[in-house]
Structure 1
């Protein structure tokens, strides 16, 4: 069974996303909405990791030796400046959140196949929040794009 590989991927990806949300919150503190919402979304990722703990305890968590780099995302270690920098940082968050979102989808499929109601409950709670994170990121990028891409700096 390869579910532990995807549980490991999800656990690491949620941690990476939480760290990256905090990095963007700190780096773009002059944008109050970005700062506070990114901090809130980072907290959601932390909760997702905690919700996964009993599932990981039951099924395990492994890193597939055959694909260590293909199934991994790097955290943001610094932020860019200015309006284009904000847009690019939000885009990076969107890519990380997309990885988390599709991984929840894969785990949901496994949970349905296993008929594991506990895992399905965790997936339903967490995946819904990840979808909301993606919608906020997309909306905020749409808001930032005209300023960043058209207005002369």
Structure 2
């Protein structure tokens, strides 16, 4: 069974996304909506990660398969500055959240096949919150793009 591989990937994705949200929040304190919402979303990711602990204990975690390492995205190491930097940081967050979202989908498929009601309950809430994160990121990128790409010098 390879589910433990994807559970590990999912846990790492949530941790990476949380760390990245915090870095963007810290770097863009001049944008209060970005700062405070990114901190809130980082907390959501931390909560998602914690909810996976009992599932990982039950199924096990695995890093023996080299496939997930090729899928794992790196956290934002250093956030950028200025309007274009904000847009790029939001885009990086979107990519990380997209990886997390699709990984929730893959784990959900396995949980349905296993008829694991507990895991499906966890997935329902976390998958929904990740979807909201993606929608906010897209909306905020659309809001930032004209300033960053046209008006900023």
Q: Same fold (TM over 0.5)?
A: yes
* TM-score, length-scaled by structure 2: 0.98
Match of 2:25 in 1: 25
Q: How does 1:66-77 map to 2 (within 5 A)?
A: 66-77=66-77
Greater helix proportion: 2
Deviations 1:3-57 (A, max 9, x none): 0000000000100000000000000011000000000000000000111011011
Give secondary structure in 1 for the equivalent of 2:66: coil
Deviations 1:86-142 (A, max 9, x none): 000000000000000000000000000000000000000100000000000000000
Distance 1:152 1:16, change over 3 A: closer
Are positions 1:87 and 2:119 aligned together? Answer: no
Give unpaired runs (5+ residues) of structure 1: none
Matched residue count: 153
Aligned counterparts of 1:49 and 1:69: Cα–Cα separation in 2: 18
Aligned counterparts of 1:129 and 1:10: Cα–Cα separation in 2: 14
TM-fit CA distance, 1:68: 4.9
Q: Which runs of 4+ in 1 moved over 4 A?
A: none
Give unpaired runs (5+ residues) of structure 2: none
